[in-house]
Structure 1
Amino acid sequence: MPFTGVLLTAGLLLGLAPAPPLPTLPRSVEVELKVHRDGSLAVTEAVSVPAGERMRRQVSLRIPYGDARQRVLGVRDISIEGSGSAELTERRLRIELGGGTSVVRYTVDGAVSGGGFPRVHWRPASGWDTDLELVRGSFAAPRIPDALDCTAGAPDAPRPCLAAQIDHAGLTRFSQRRLPAGERMELTVDLPPRTVPPNARIEPAPTLAGAFLLTPAVGWAWALFGVFLLGLAVALGLLRRADTVARTGPVAATSSPDPPPDLRPGQAGVLTAGSAAAADAVDLAVTLLDLRERRPARPREFERLAGAEAGLPAFGAAVRADLVRHRFLHGSRPVRAGTRIIGYGAFLTLVLAFTVGYAQLGVVLAAAGAAVACWGLLLPARTRRGRAAVRALRGSDPRRVPLPWAVALGAPGSEPGRVGEVTMLIGRLAGSAGRRGRRSPPAS
């Protein structure tokens, strides 16, 4: 909510606080700066305004601090002695003074930076809409300053002040003649170590560079991303190890196979290899034989797969899709999820970059999506259910199972007629009686 200064009489204010020397020239300013032990900066300005005129000043409370940061200042305890008013917003202090000499007082928070070596920065004159004939002032602190820097002029062409010195008593004085409207005077004072505590608030500037600045919040987000990345790596290592054990580790033989109800003999080869490219003529022949035995219950599926005789790649893709649907294989869901997260991160980056800043939060989200997508690409093909099915198949006795499972497991069954039928199907589909070295059809 804006603050409007209340006009007070000179006698009342003079009884409460001392005033700096009054200006001797019209359109001139006498400034008194004092740093208190808590780091606050007390500012007193005596301004001479010609009769019948008005002078206006806008004090920016957002000061550039490098290319991507800004110093955020706070102003409080504003009072005006004389003819004038003040309005305070989040970003600036507006002062308007009428004819005569007026004294403006306020306190600034956030002018001290530098940690153990405090540095006070303030603009004794800036934002005036009138040419100033003379700006003169003094600076006082609990201890004698170590160094002083004073510049005046346009923001892109500053020049040294007319005078700036620290006298033998430790009082800092500065002055500048003829400061055109819109130009400013800047004062930087270095104090001895630990003279006053720092209170500067440094925030990202409302620019594109500031939006991508590394802030504490962004740093925590990157740290959490690192933990997330480590968790993905650990999970991936455990899953790959479990998959290797399921394929090559020791298993106990069982008297009869007990595969999951949704797993069929013709899918065993694709499940074991984890790839649709592993499907061959034996898988298709076993699938056709298995479906022919169950044809009264599933005629449409038999017809659909029977039509795949001309193309094993299409058959393998269909088998893999069925294994993904029944959660034996992971499929591409992790990769798709990671890709969506990348899109969300990119969108969030754009929104934050052109609004409140902290755009790196969107970058962190996009990086997390990329990590999930890569994790999905490196993930073993089989799910927990798929690994359990592989262990069950490896522990089954091919001599004591139905013919389709016997052929799928690579051993002859007990029905010579059916074995011959499978051999004939294999010859018709692949033009051979072998399985490219992985297994051979049973002899009749």
Structure 2
Amino acid sequence: MSRMPESAQKHRRTPLFSAAVLKNWGAAVLGVAALCLFAGTASAQPSSPGGLPGTVGADVRLKLERDGKLTVTEVVSVPEGRTAKRVVPLRIAVSDTRDRVFEVDGASVSGKGTAEASGDQLTIALEAGTSTVTYSVVGAVAKIGDTLELRWQPASGWDTALDSVKVSVITPDAPRSVNCLAGPPGTSKPCTTADLGDGRGVRASEIGLPAGERVDVAVGLQEGAAPANARIEETSGLAAAFALTPVAGVGLGGLAVLLLGGVVLLWYLRGRDQRALASDVGPVNVLVTDPSGHVAFASPDGVLPGQVGTVVDEHVDVVDVTATIVDLAVRNYLWIEEVGGLDWRFVRRNPADPSLSGYERAVYSALLPDGVDAVLLSELRGKRIDLGRVRDELYADVVAKNWFARRPDAERSLWWWAGIGLALAGVALTVLLALVTGPALVGLVVVVAGVALALGARWMPARTRRGSVLLEHVRGLRGYLVSATPGDIPETDRELVFSRSLPYAVVLGETERWLGAFAGDRSGLYWFGEAEQAGDLRRFAHRFPAFLGALDGVLAQAGHLRSLRA
């Protein structure tokens, strides 16, 4: 018999009902029967997200809304006779000093169990059976460089192992990428599977997640898919202590209210003075005629020269004392004589009597103490004149006259020290809160409030209504000093009116104009001259500014008072 070619043998067909074929079909039938029996047995067992009976499994569905809120639905199956508890951290460390903080609300359970979000964690406790947990998350969307990213841990903090975790993510626009990590916190082990699915969402899964481990899903989003709402907080160091927290925000708001209240109060108290200074005031009629027909000078509200300066600038200045000394000479308590063209002597004429105010007696005693009837101005340069009593008495006078409710210097001092004390307390509070990583910004708020209070102390003294009225009258008095001429005063009364007006011209800075207006008059002066001889007014107008300058210099050396001329 001839041999069949190899090619023919290769293509030779086996008969359909040969013994070998029947043997193979029998094996196949038996396999199918066994598979059907197994499927029937499996279908008789209860189903679960884990896929295996007697295990815990989770099917987690995440849906990102356009407003940035993440809606979470967890379907969890717990076997009979068992419980499962999950504690979800809502504060996750992103560095050694920074935490990412999530906010969860609307937590609820459909089934046997509870869900509660409080503090920095979400707690889910489930009993046997299949339960559906729902909640929403704010803070899951962050801007990472140029990429917008959604991040959440669909499984973490379970006190029991999960047989499987299935995750699906739906985003407003097609996601750009997915990164799924599984294992202990901090590890970078990838999940069992993670992919973009059909391009409209993300699917991920993890098989066998031990208790305490987590599944962390990060999904890259299209630009504009949702607003970034991630919140990062400092956890340690100075940056955390000085972070703008709600507590610090309340403190800043309180400071703003306090400062606004202070501004309103100052506006109210100072408003009268501003209106008095801004209004148009004509010359005040300070010239009065007595029944005998003589013209005399009368100051508004009986204010004395030294009091004028204190009411105007709320300070006792050297010029206030200088004007008072001139006024004492004009009222015949002193005689002032020029000695050798370079010095001046003060001579006692009449003793201090009850008609003098307290501060005038203090000035008189400082200039001519008991037992001293005359003193040269040059001699006063070498003496220590104590003007502290003058200052105290003058401040007390303006309060007694009801031009101020309290002493202006005491008011300034009170608020200044209160501000300094508040600022120091703020510094101590800032240091303390910074050490315990508390809201140290609150301490800085207190410091700023204290400094503002100390700086604002200079504006705290406020005149009474009567003081504001006097301030307006003083403006009218200045108008009189600027506009009056010798022709306005009868010749017989001119020397007295000129002299009585001069101390007010000194304190209000109108000396040069007042002397210039009357320098051409030939009448003498009854209180200033040489060796108690009435001085010539023309010579007096030439020498008097030098006298004022020398007297200011001596008084300024005494200290206690400001040397600024009003």
TM-score tier by shorter-chain length is: 0.5 to 0.7
Q: CA deviation at 1:198?
A: 4.6
**Could you tell me which residue of structure 1 aligns to residue 526 of structure 2?**
416
Query: C-alpha distance in 2, partners of 1:342/1:45?
Result: 62
- Alignment of 1:374 with 2:455, yes or no, is yes
- Alignment of 1:145 with 2:175, yes or no, is yes
What SS is found at the alignment partner of 1:159? coil
Q: CA deviation at 1:318?
A: 2.1
**Could you tell me which residue of structure 2 aligns to residue 434 of structure 1?**
547
Seen in structure 2, the aligned counterparts of structure 1 residues 297 and 320 have a Cα distance that, compared at 3 Å, is closer
**Could you tell me which residue of structure 1 aligns to residue 71 of structure 2?**
41
**Could you tell me which residue of structure 2 aligns to residue 426 of structure 1?**
none
Q: How does 1:371-410 map to 2 (within 5 A)?
A: 371=452, 373-377=454-458, 388=472, 390-394=474-478, 395-396=480-481, 399-401=495-497, 406-407=502-503, 409=505
**Could you tell me which residue of structure 2 aligns to residue 169 of structure 1?**
198
**Could you tell me which residue of structure 2 aligns to residue 429 of structure 1?**
none
Q: CA deviation at 1:169?
A: 1.2
Contact kept? 2:411, 2:461, Cα under 8 Å: no
RMSD: 5.9
Q: CA deviation at 1:35?
A: 0.6
**Could you tell me which residue of structure 2 aligns to residue 127 of structure 1?**
157
Give TM-score, length-normalised by structure 1: 0.61
Q: CA deviation at 1:373?
A: 3.7
**Could you tell me which residue of structure 1 aligns to residue 101 of structure 2?**
70
Contact kept? 2:322, 2:551, Cα under 8 Å: no
Query: C-alpha distance in 2, partners of 1:362/1:281?
Result: 48
Query: C-alpha distance in 1, partners of 2:221/2:411?
Result: 61
1:367 corresponds to which letter in structure 2?
A: V
Percent of matched pairs sharing the same residue: 20
Counterpart pick for 2:49 among 13, 21, 24: 21
Give TM-score, length-normalised by structure 2: 0.51
Counterpart pick for 2:387 among 313, 323, 326: 313
Seen in structure 2, the aligned counterparts of structure 1 residues 265 and 142 have a Cα distance that, compared at 3 Å, is closer
Contact kept? 1:27, 1:48, Cα under 8 Å: yes
Q: Which runs of 5+ in 1 are unaligned?
A: 1-18, 424-432
Query: C-alpha distance in 1, partners of 2:215/2:386?
Result: 82
What SS is found at the alignment partner of 2:52? coil
Query: C-alpha distance in 1, partners of 2:213/2:470?
Result: 75
Question: May I ask how many residue pairs the two structures share in their alignment?
Answer: 396
Query: C-alpha distance in 2, partners of 1:283/1:421?
Result: 22
**Could you tell me which residue of structure 2 aligns to residue 9 of structure 1?**
none
Q: CA deviation at 1:44?
A: 1.6
Seen in structure 2, the aligned counterparts of structure 1 residues 175 and 169 have a Cα distance that, compared at 3 Å, is same
Contact kept? 2:286, 2:298, Cα under 8 Å: no
Q: How does 1:95-244 map to 2 (within 5 A)?
A: 95-98=124-127, 102-110=130-138, 112-113=140-141, 119-130=149-160, 135-153=165-183, 155=185, 157-163=186-192, 165-170=194-199, 171-176=201-206, 181-195=211-225, 197-198=226-227, 200=229, 202=231, 212-214=242-244
Query: C-alpha distance in 1, partners of 2:173/2:107?
Result: 24
What SS is found at the alignment partner of 1:128? coil
Q: How does 1:321-336 map to 2 (within 5 A)?
A: 321-322=395-396, 325=399, 326-327=403-404, 331=409, 333=411, 336=414
What SS is found at the alignment partner of 2:243? coil
Q: CA deviation at 1:132?
A: 5.0
Query: C-alpha distance in 2, partners of 1:435/1:70?
Result: 74
Q: CA deviation at 1:31?
A: 2.9
Query: C-alpha distance in 2, partners of 1:206/1:338?
Result: 37
Q: CA deviation at 1:159?
A: 2.0
2:387 corresponds to which letter in structure 1?
A: P
Query: C-alpha distance in 1, partners of 2:131/2:109?
Result: 11
Contact kept? 1:35, 1:41, Cα under 8 Å: yes
Seen in structure 2, the aligned counterparts of structure 1 residues 185 and 165 have a Cα distance that, compared at 3 Å, is closer
Q: CA deviation at 1:284?
A: 4.9
Query: C-alpha distance in 1, partners of 2:60/2:388?
Result: 86
Seen in structure 2, the aligned counterparts of structure 1 residues 65 and 339 have a Cα distance that, compared at 3 Å, is farther
Query: C-alpha distance in 1, partners of 2:162/2:71?
Result: 23
What SS is found at the alignment partner of 2:301? coil
**Could you tell me which residue of structure 1 aligns to residue 20 of structure 2?**
none
- Alignment of 1:56 with 2:71, yes or no, is no
Seen in structure 2, the aligned counterparts of structure 1 residues 104 and 272 have a Cα distance that, compared at 3 Å, is closer
Contact kept? 2:284, 2:473, Cα under 8 Å: no
What SS is found at the alignment partner of 1:321? helix
Query: C-alpha distance in 1, partners of 2:94/2:328?
Result: 72
Q: After superposition, what is the alpha-carbon deviation per residue over 1:299-328, rounded to whole angstroms, capped at 9, x for unaligned?
A: 877766655457343145225524763349
Seen in structure 2, the aligned counterparts of structure 1 residues 65 and 166 have a Cα distance that, compared at 3 Å, is same
What SS is found at the alignment partner of 1:434? helix
Q: Which runs of 5+ in 2 are unaligned?
A: 1-46, 288-296, 334-349, 370-383, 485-493, 507-514, 534-545, 554-566
Seen in structure 2, the aligned counterparts of structure 1 residues 149 and 321 have a Cα distance that, compared at 3 Å, is farther
Seen in structure 2, the aligned counterparts of structure 1 residues 404 and 294 have a Cα distance that, compared at 3 Å, is farther
- Alignment of 1:265 with 2:310, yes or no, is no
